Amino acid sequence: MGAIEEIQQEYDVVIIGGGWAGLTLARQIRRGSQAVSILVVEASESFRGKVGEATVEMTGHYFMKQLGLVNYLYRNHLPKNGLRFFYDTPDHSLSLAEMSEHGTTSIPPHPAFQLDRARLEADLVEMNREDGIEVVMGVKAKSLKIGSADHHHTIQLSAGERNTEISARWLVDCSGRNRFAKKHKKLTRQENVPEHFSAWGRFKNIQDIDAMGDEAWRSRAFGRFLSTNHFSGEGYWVWFIPLSGGYTSVGIVGEKDKFEKLPTKRDSFLNFLMEYRAIAELLEGAELVDFEAWGQLAYRADEFIFPDRWATSGFASMFLDPLFSGGGDMIALFNDHISKYILADLKASDRACAQQMLDQQLPVANQTVKEFYQGLYAHVANVYPVIDCGELCSPLLAYNTAAYFLEIAWDYMSGNYLNQDYWLRKSYLRRGYMALELILQKQLIDTAEVLKSEGRYFRRNAEGFFESGADHYKYFVYLMGTAGKDGWRIDLRVKLWVEMFLKVIEAKLDLPMLANRMVVQQSILLPDLLEKPNFNSEDKDWLLNKISAKLSELLSDETESPVQVTVTEDSFRTDLVEVINPSGDLTHTELEKLAKKAKSLWSQTQEYIAMPSMVPVFLAFARNQPDSIMDSVIDQRKLQSREHQVSENRVVEAV
Ligand X SMILES: Cc1cc2nc3c(=O)[nH]c(=O)nc-3n(C[C@H](O)[C@H](O)[C@H](O)COP(=O)(O)OP(=O)(O)OC[C@H]3O[C@@H](n4cnc5c(N)ncnc54)[C@H](O)[C@@H]3O)c2cc1C
Closest to ligand X by CB, 235 vs 464, is 235
Q: Is residue 156 a contact residue for ligand X (CB under 6 A)?
A: no
Q: Which residues contact 91 (CB under 8 A, 6 or more apart)?
A: none
Closest to ligand X by CB, 246 vs 295, is 295
Q: Give me the least distance between CB of 298 and ligand X, in Å please.
A: 9
Q: Return the SS3 of 250.
A: strand
Closest to ligand X by CB, 159 vs 500, is 159
Q: Burial of 200 by CB count in 10 Å (0-12 exposed, 13-18 middle, 19+ buried)?
A: buried
Q: Give me the least distance between CB of 35 and ligand X, in Å please.
A: 25
Closest to ligand X by CB, 194 vs 328, is 328
Q: Give me the least distance between CB of 164 and ligand X, in Å please.
A: 13
Stretch that binds ligand X, among 171-179, 181-189, 210-218, 609-617 (CB under 6 A): 171-179
Q: Give me the least distance between CB of 136 and ligand X, in Å please.
A: 9
Separation of alpha carbons 330 and 319, rounded Å: 8
Closest to ligand X by CB, 53 vs 491, is 53
Closest to ligand X by CB, 122 vs 286, is 122
Q: Which residues contact 32 (CB under 8 A, 6 or more apart)?
A: 339, 343
The answer to whether the CB of 146 falls within 8 A of the CB of 172 is no
Residue in 294, 339, 344, 341 with CA at minimum distance from that of residue 315: 294
Stretch that binds ligand X, among 52-60, 278-286, 400-408, 642-650 (CB under 6 A): 52-60
Residue in 196, 201, 218, 200 with CA at minimum distance from that of residue 209: 218
Residue in 535, 513, 506 with CA at minimum distance from that of residue 440: 535
Residues 291 to 310: which contact ligand X by CB under 6 A? 294, 297
Q: Is residue 40 a contact residue for ligand X (CB under 6 A)?
A: no
Closest to ligand X by CB, 170 vs 621, is 170
Q: Which of 14, 36, 39, 43 binds ligand X (CB under 6 A)?
A: 43
Q: Is residue 53 a contact residue for ligand X (CB under 6 A)?
A: yes
Indicate the pairing of strand 140-145 with strand 300-301. Answer: unpaired
Q: Which of 254, 314, 385, 390 binds ligand X (CB under 6 A)?
A: 314
DSSP 244: T
* Residues 315-354: x where in contact with ligand X by CB under 6 A, - otherwise, as a string: xx-----x--x-xx--x-----------------------
Q: Is residue 263 a contact residue for ligand X (CB under 6 A)?
A: no
The answer to whether the CB of 406 falls within 8 A of the CB of 489 is yes
DSSP 605: B
The answer to whether the CB of 506 falls within 8 A of the CB of 515 is yes
Closest to ligand X by CB, 180 vs 476, is 180
Closest to ligand X by CB, 175 vs 366, is 175
Q: Which of 27, 77, 110, 140 binds ligand X (CB under 6 A)?
A: 140
Q: Which of 27, 28, 42, 146 binds ligand X (CB under 6 A)?
A: 42
Residue in 300, 357, 4 with CA at minimum distance from that of residue 179: 300
Q: What is the DSSP string of 74-126?
A: HHHSEE---EEEEE--TT----GGGSEEE--SS--SS--EE--HHHHHHHHHH
What torsion do the CA atoms of 596, 602, 608, 613 make, to the nearest 10 degrees? 90
Q: Is residue 44 a contact residue for ligand X (CB under 6 A)?
A: yes
The answer to whether the CB of 225 falls within 8 A of the CB of 205 is no
Separation of alpha carbons 293 and 51, rounded Å: 10
Q: Which of 13, 28, 30, 55 binds ligand X (CB under 6 A)?
A: 55
Q: What is the DSSP string of 436-491?
A: HHHHHHHHHHHHHHHHHHTT-TTTTGGGT-EE--GGGTTTTGGGTT-SS-HHHHHH
Q: Give me the least distance between CB of 368 and ligand X, in Å please.
A: 18
Closest to ligand X by CB, 182 vs 220, is 182
- Residue 71 has a CB neighbour count (10 Å cut-off) of 9
Stretch that binds ligand X, among 66-74, 172-180, 357-365, 603-611 (CB under 6 A): 172-180
The answer to whether the CB of 388 falls within 8 A of the CB of 401 is no
Stretch that binds ligand X, among 49-57, 356-364, 453-461, 556-564 (CB under 6 A): 49-57
Q: How many Å from the N-terminal Cα to the C-terminal Cα in the chain?
A: 74
Q: Give me the least distance between CB of 62 and ligand X, in Å please.
A: 10
Q: Give me the least distance between CB of 373 and ligand X, in Å please.
A: 12
Diameter of the chain by CA atoms? 102
Residues 7 to 36: which contact ligand X by CB under 6 A? 16-22
Q: Which of 33, 164, 167, 178 binds ligand X (CB under 6 A)?
A: 178
Q: Is residue 635 a contact residue for ligand X (CB under 6 A)?
A: no
Q: Give me the least distance between CB of 431 and ligand X, in Å please.
A: 27
Closest to ligand X by CB, 329 vs 391, is 329
Q: Is residue 176 a contact residue for ligand X (CB under 6 A)?
A: yes
The answer to whether the CB of 108 falls within 8 A of the CB of 82 is yes
Q: Return the SS3 of 626.
A: coil
Q: Give me the least distance between CB of 266 and ligand X, in Å please.
A: 16
Q: Which of 15, 54, 181, 544 binds ligand X (CB under 6 A)?
A: 54
Separation of alpha carbons 187 and 303, rounded Å: 7
Q: Which residues contact 43 (CB under 8 A, 6 or more apart)?
A: 17, 138, 139, 140, 141, 175
* Residues 355-394: x where in contact with ligand X by CB under 6 A, - otherwise, as a string: ----------------------------------------
Q: Which of 7, 13, 36, 41 binds ligand X (CB under 6 A)?
A: 41
**How many residues of this chain bind ligand X (CB under 6 A)?**
38
Q: Give me the least distance between CB of 118 and ligand X, in Å please.
A: 10
Q: Give me the least distance between CB of 255 and ligand X, in Å please.
A: 14
Closest to ligand X by CB, 50 vs 503, is 50
Q: Give me the least distance between CB of 304 and ligand X, in Å please.
A: 12
Separation of alpha carbons 230 and 221, rounded Å: 15
Q: Return the SS3 of 1.
A: coil
What torsion do the CA atoms of 41, 44, 50, 55 make, to the nearest 10 degrees? 20
Separation of alpha carbons 396 and 392, rounded Å: 6
Q: Give me the least distance between CB of 444 and ligand X, in Å please.
A: 23
Residues 195 to 214: which contact ligand X by CB under 6 A? 198, 200
Indicate the pairing of strand 153-159 with strand 140-145. Answer: antiparallel
Q: Give me the least distance between CB of 171 and ligand X, in Å please.
A: 12
* Residues 58-97: x where in contact with ligand X by CB under 6 A, - otherwise, as a string: -x--------------------------------------
Region for 354 from its dihedrals, namely left if φ exceeds 0, alpha if ψ lies in -120 to 50, beta otherwise: alpha
Query: Under the rule (CB under 6 A), what is the footprint of ligand X?
Result: 16-22, 41-44, 50-55, 59, 140-141, 174-176, 178, 180, 198, 200, 251, 294, 297, 314-316, 322, 325, 327-328, 331
